[in-house]
Structure 1
Amino acid sequence: MYPNRPLFGLGFSLGANILTNYIGEEGTECQFKAAVVISSPWNLEIGNKVLKSTWIGHEIYLKTLGTSLRTLVNNNKAEIEKYCEVSLSELSKVKYLYEFDRAYQCPTWGYPTEDAYYRDASSVDALLSVRIPLLAINAVDDPISANMGLPYPEAAKNPYTVLCTTSLGGHLGWFEPGGGRWHGKPVYNFFSHMAFEIDHSSIDPKAREVAYSTAASASTFNPIRRKLDVDLQA
């Protein structure tokens, strides 16, 4: 109905991580004009280790998520047996989230360990490939999106991205006196500005190349491959 309206992306928590990976993979071809990602657990390996290091993280967050997934498995045993080659006996023993990922995600996708899966699914490097205006909002006291895993240097390196952090807010919290939620305000303001005050034709994602290697290096870093391409002939 509105083919000329700008299309924006908005992601929360793990959805924010997935959205960032998508935008980074699309690069200059991304159809979104702008995006906001909220409480993204940018570095899933670090987040997992931080949660495992505390009693609340291990016995509340990881255990709740793990047992919920075990219940989901128990309610869908027939479908899993029909379409998946995973061990239901191992899945029935799952207690924590990382145990589920070890028993289900690793054999399904071919990852040797859950940490390898977490590293590959993280969006820290993908942020470097973003070529649209992107606002990221995180709270440094977030128990799931650990502060030590936030992409401070990556956001600073990429001129298309802004990382906004608050001292308080938890995971998708930001409660205010009276029951309000703070994070809705910057999201609305950002998208309102992008929708009504920005000439999107003036933003050319291909016009500005962002180099991540030094001038003296013949190698290039591809954020999506998460590898350094070394020129052996240089």
Structure 2
Amino acid sequence: MTVVDNLLGLILLGRAVVINFRGCAGTPVTSDQLYHCGTTDDARQALMYIAKCYPHARLIGVGFSLGANMLVRYLAQEGEHSRLVAGCALSCPWDLHAVSSRLSKGTWMEQVYSRALAQNLVTTHSGALARNAAFAQVMPTILSLKSPSLLEFDALYTSQHASHVAPFPFPNVREYYSWASSHNVFTDVRVPLLAINADDDPIVRDLPLDVGRSGLVVLAITRGGGHLGWSTCRKRWWSGDHPRWVRKPMLEWLRAVGEDLWVDSPRGRPLCTVNGFISEVGRENIGCREIKGGGEITCNVVRGQRLAGL
């Protein structure tokens, strides 16, 4: 499932790193592990790499839309071991089954949006599947989807074939969405988290109003703002030459947790090297390395070709 922006931004000592998940933003898919809405390992491995390069940096995560869902899930999964000292989740979809069902069965415009997203996923994955023998068995099903909704695509493909490791495949798409959602795990977050959603978001209509159960999570619901909109000017909103209101509270939050929050350092599990891959002690099954010819990193400048291997 893809909803508008699949981005997770990481702020470190005033510098920013943007993570584009595999297969997104034109990045190639070079393995049999495809991107899906429940994955957190891409960000986890990127954080290993960043922590290796900047061992004393204070890392703060900012997630947009589906990236926000991934951020909340990462923080919940890591708990006390999170490499991020705090997070900010903007327009998080929270309950993915509710979002996908509404888009697939809602208004005419919502259905058009759902089918456009699903068609984009078919187009994105078909090339990778055609090159990968491990997924050749699902190619006929993928290519037969003429105009699927997001729910249909996730039921036929994502919940069954998006990964070759547990907990895939799922018995049904509802269980996949339940596993991949963030509304049922936020109580496991152990670092300060600010979430901002709008009450007129056309995509996200179901919000976890019980976040008060967690003393570390704050959900702010604004009057108006749409999905990642929050325009400060209702006139000529299409021109793009006006600021977005959400920048102000987001930057205030980043400044507060970046400068005033006391945290233990370093955070996260100890790093180690396994067969040339940067990994974590006790979690050696995942890791990352910079591929040969991928460029050298000096501070925050990437030299040479595209940095890969994350």
Aligned residues: 198
Distance 1:105 1:167 in 2: 34
CA contact (8 A) 1:133 1:160 kept: yes
CA contact (8 A) 2:90 2:195 kept: yes
In the alignment, structure 1 residue 90 sits paired with structure 2 residue 168: no
- Provide the residue aligned with 1:190 in structure 2: 253
How far is 1:110 from its partner? 1.1
Distance 1:27 1:14 in 2: 20
Counterpart code for 1:165: I
**5 Å matches for 1:46-195?**
46-51=98-103, 52-59=105-112, 61-80=113-132, 82-84=133-135, 86-94=137-145, 95=147, 96-108=149-161, 109-146=168-205, 149-153=206-210, 155-177=211-233, 179-195=242-258
How far is 1:4 from its partner? 2.8
CA contact (8 A) 2:189 2:216 kept: yes
Instruction: State the SS of the aligned residue for 2:109.
Output: helix
**Which sections of structure 1, spanning at least 5 residues, go unmatched?**
202-234
Per the alignment, do residues 105 and 85 of structure 1 end up closer, same or farther by CA in structure 2, a change over 3 Å counting?
farther
CA contact (8 A) 2:63 2:90 kept: yes
How far is 1:85 from its partner? 5.3
Instruction: State the SS of the aligned residue for 2:84.
Output: coil
Residues 52-108 of structure 1 deviation map (CA, whole Å, 9 limit, x = unaligned): 22221112x20110111122234334224x122542222123322122212211222
- Provide the residue aligned with 2:303 in structure 1: none
Per the alignment, do residues 25 and 179 of structure 1 end up closer, same or farther by CA in structure 2, a change over 3 Å counting?
same
- Provide the residue aligned with 2:97 in structure 1: 45
TM-score, scaled relative to structure 2: 0.60
CA contact (8 A) 2:114 2:150 kept: yes
Instruction: State the SS of the aligned residue for 1:75.
Output: helix
Distance 1:181 1:158 in 2: 28
Counterpart code for 1:152: L
- Provide the residue aligned with 1:232 in structure 2: none
Give 1 or 2: higher helix fraction: 1
- Provide the residue aligned with 2:82 in structure 1: 30
- Provide the residue aligned with 2:13 in structure 1: none
Residues 160-203 of structure 1 deviation map (CA, whole Å, 9 limit, x = unaligned): 010011121111111122511111111111011111223335xx
CA contact (8 A) 1:86 1:104 kept: no
Per the alignment, do residues 152 and 86 of structure 1 end up closer, same or farther by CA in structure 2, a change over 3 Å counting?
farther
How far is 1:142 from its partner? 1.0
**Which sections of structure 2, spanning at least 5 residues, go unmatched?**
1-52, 162-167, 234-240, 265-310
TM-score, scaled relative to structure 1: 0.78
CA contact (8 A) 1:87 1:103 kept: no
How far is 1:49 from its partner? 2.0
Counterpart code for 2:151: Y
Per the alignment, do residues 37 and 86 of structure 1 end up closer, same or farther by CA in structure 2, a change over 3 Å counting?
farther
